[in-house]
Amino acid sequence: MSVGFVMLCHTALDRAAEVARHWAERDCPVVIHVDARVKAPAYDGLVRALGDLGNVRFSGRYACEWGTWGIVAATQEASSVMLKAFPEVRHVYLASGSCLPLRPVEELVAYLDSRPRVDFIESVTTQDVGWTVGGLNVERFTLRFPFSWRKHRALFDGYVRLQRRVGFRRRVPSGLVPHLGSQWWCLTRRTLSAILDNPERGEIDRYFRKVWIPDESYFQTMVRKFSTSVESRSLTLSKFDYQGKPHIFYDDHLQLLRRSDCFVARKMWPQADKLYDTFLLGKGAGQVAAEPNPGKIDRLFSKAVERRTKGRTGLYMQSRFPNKQWGHGRTAAPYSVFEGFSEVFENFEAWLGKVAGTRAHGHLFAPDRVEFAGGETVFSGALSDSAALRDYAPKNFLSNLIWNTRGERQCFQFGPNDVQDCSEMLAGDPNAQISVISGAWSIPLFHSNQNFGDIRREAARLQKIESDHLAILRSHNAKARIRIWTLAEFVENPMEPLQSIVDEISPRSLRRLTEAPTLTDLKGFGQFLQNLRNQGMQPVLMGDFPAGETVPTALRRGRPYLVK
């Protein structure tokens, strides 16, 4: 017999009784401390429930408010009882009322027997601690904390700030190097008695009484003074969430806990019947002499914390609605916006879909309806093609589309004829790849059969809209990958820009484009622009298009020249 358990209990005393009985019946003495705030009937019930066991003791009761000295006082008191009443105990294991042994106690005994001098206690210097809540680590030892963190947070924070400003510092008693770590330890009689019988204990206790959360630092610091062999890890599996609250285990964690090979875990949900039945009553002796391996559980819980603090990028839903200023990605995945391409090329969307292997939509923000790829009336996630529904919340529409199609890149056309509400969102989204051929909107006008006066008016309107849009794209807030060519620039050499865009869309298929889209017929376009000028309008966005009948070389052929 070499290990005794000290249990700190405050709720779910019936479960604590079951665990205490489990240990006591297997010849491990148990000393129980019950929080002084627990009412007498409940306490008496616990004492009665364990009355038949000779190796269970109860120690003097302290009020154990979180983060206060009471917990350490309770631990000291219960440990003293343990050392005095059970002289054969070599290791003392500190556990809570919501702990549950996962492996047969014989395996723990054997494990400790082969390490008779080792103290298992997580003990880390304050500089190396990254997990403290509230950002206080060294200051836990050098400031005063007269106000409760839970009940009077504002006073607590204010008083900390005041002390920092005034430059107040408490002196750490000489010979002590502050260490922090998990509250749950397993110490040898030698170390524990040295801590408890230390002649300077009075002074040290007085100091720690005013340290914040002393249960995570008192033994962790003292052990460095007295122990010859510290193994800095806890034998108790216990994980904390981002608020510093312990994660709770439920019935559906059974397999995970089984495979962890840890000796003891906390914290159990009191009504997790299956866990208690399996681990307390079940005989299933585990794999012999396996080292504790909480890796899987670590991952599960760290993923949960990440979900709570970072969330899934690009998701907008009932419990995740990021503020604009937080600068997280606005959409879930990269996508491409093409402006002017379907005017310059014939059948551009079909070509794009084929070459880049993506979903190539038409004008998603067309004024009459959403032009989903393939003329669909509904799309992924049951998005409707109704323009009214889209325009009710255009940003939601876009983020929904990108979220719903995770794993498949989306491309769509955009232009001055479309609803412009999402301009700023597009420009500010690092996931957007925006390629613009400015002034390309004039090509359909050039081909149209309207009165020239109407064409002129329409051209002026579209040019105004596109200028505003380009100003947004060029503003310093723009985070998208933006490329802008004038129409003249583009038709001079269309393949190079196309190649670089497609390479960016599907980087893995780095190969030359073998099939080029067909350029639309621009014969006489220069004259058309000149006519607009003659009518008093100034078409600027197309760039320097040669007036008259001279057409750039590339345009005379049906298809642009391909470098193979």
Partner 1 sequence: MSILGAIKLRARRRRAHWRAFRKRRELAVVQDRTRKMAGDAVILLSTLRNEKIRLPFFLRYYRDLGVEHFLLVDNDSDDGSREYLAAQPDVSLWSAKASYKGSRFGVDWLTWLQRRYCHGHWCLTVDVDEFFVYPFCETRPLRALTDWLDASEVRSFAAMMLDMYPKGSIHAHPYQEGQNPFEIAQWFDSGNYTIHRNGGYGNLWIQGGPRARVFFGDNPEMAPALNKVPLVKWHRSYAYVSSTHMLLPRGLNLVYDEAGGEKASGCLLHAKFLDTFADKAAEEMARGQHYGASTEYRAYQESLAKHPDMWCKFSEKYINWRQLEILGLMSKGNWA
**Which residues lie near partner 1 (CB under 8 A)?**
241-243, 245, 247-248, 250-252, 269, 271, 300-301, 303-305, 307-313, 315-323, 326, 328, 378-384, 386, 388-389, 392-393, 396-397, 400, 403-404
CA–CA separation, 145 and 170 (whole Å): 11
**Nearest distance, CB of residue 369 and partner 1, angstroms:** 11
- The alpha-helical segments, DSSP class H, found in 227-356 are 254-260, 273-276, 295-309, 341-344, 348-356
Three-state secondary-structure class, residue 143: coil
The minimum distance between CB 397 and partner 1, in angstroms, equals 8
Taking the complex as a whole, the smallest distance from the CB of residue 364 to partner 1 amounts, in Å, to 14
**What is the C-alpha to C-alpha distance for residues 437 and 443, in angstroms, rounded to an integer?**
11
By three-state DSSP, how is residue 455 classified?
A: helix
Partner residues linked to 456 by β-bridges = none
In this complex, which beta carbon is closest to partner 1, that of residue 8 or of residue 491? 8
CA distance 103 to 23: 12
| Torsion 524-527-533-536 (CA) sign | negative
The SS3 assignment for 403 reads helix
Residue 86 and residue 266 in contact, taking contact as beta carbons nearer than 8 Å: no
**Choice between 91 and 361, CB closer to partner 1:** 361
Which two tokens mark 286? 């585990």
d(CA 515, CA 523): 23
Q: HEC string of 493-508?
A: CCHHHHHHHHHHHCCC
CB nearer partner 1, residue 410 or residue 442? 410
Q: Which residues pair with 96 in a beta bridge?
A: 8
Rounded-to-5 percentages of helix, strand, coil across the chain:
40, 15, 45
257 close to 292: Cβ distance less than 8 angstroms? no
129, 180 in Cβ contact below 8 A?
Answer: yes
Least distance from partner 1 to the Cβ atom of residue 170, Å: 30
Distances (CA, A) of 539 to 308, 407, 446, 536: 52, 41, 13, 10
Report the distance separating Cα 209 and Cα 73, nearest Å.
9
In the complex, the smallest distance separating the C-beta of residue 65 from partner 1, rounded to whole angstroms, is 16
Distance CA 98, CA 488 (A): 75
Nearer to partner 1, 382 or 563 (CB): 382
Nearest C-alpha neighbor of 23 from the set 193, 287, 239, 264: 264
The CB-of-405 to partner 1 minimum distance in angstroms stands at 9
Smaller CB separation from partner 1, 212 or 397: 397
Measured distance CA(415)–CA(434) in Å, rounded: 11
* Closer residue to partner 1, CB minimum distance, 86 or 403: 403
State how far the Cα of 517 lies from the Cα of 483, in Å rounded to an integer. Answer: 19
For residues 360 and 411, the answer to whether their CB atoms sit within 8 Å is yes
**Does residue 186 sit in helix, strand or coil?**
strand
Indicate the residue among 197 and 376 with the shorter CB distance to partner 1.
376
Smallest gap from Cβ 314 to partner 1, in A, equals 9
Least CB distance to partner 1 at residue 336 (A): 20
The minimum distance between CB 318 and partner 1, in angstroms, equals 5
List of residues 6+ apart from 477 with CB closer than 8 A? 424, 427, 428
- The CA distance from 135 to 131, in Å, is 8
Smallest separation, CB 362 to partner 1 (Å) = 18
Q: Select 129 or 315, whichever has its Cβ closest to partner 1.
A: 315
Nearest distance from residue 329's CB to partner 1, in Å?
A: 9
Q: Which is nearer to partner 1, 8 or 272 (CB)?
A: 272
Q: How far is CA 496 from the centre of its chain?
A: 40
Q: How far is the CB of 252 from partner 1 (least distance, A)?
A: 4
Tell me whether residue 168 or residue 242 sits nearer to partner 1 (CB atom). 242
As a whole number of angstroms, the distance between CA 206 and CA 148 comes to 19
- Nearest distance, CB of residue 482 and partner 1, angstroms: 25
Least Å from the CB of residue 10 to partner 1: 13
Q: In this complex, which beta carbon is closest to partner 1, that of residue 168 or of residue 250?
A: 250
CB-nearer residue toward partner 1: 201 or 299: 299
Nearer to partner 1, 248 or 555 (CB): 248
Structure-block tokens of residue 234? 């806890």
Residues 6+ apart with CB under 8 A from 12: 97, 98, 270
| Torsion from C-alpha of 202, 208, 209, 211, nearest 10 degrees | 170
Give whichever of 79 and 400 is closer to partner 1, judged by the CB atom: 400
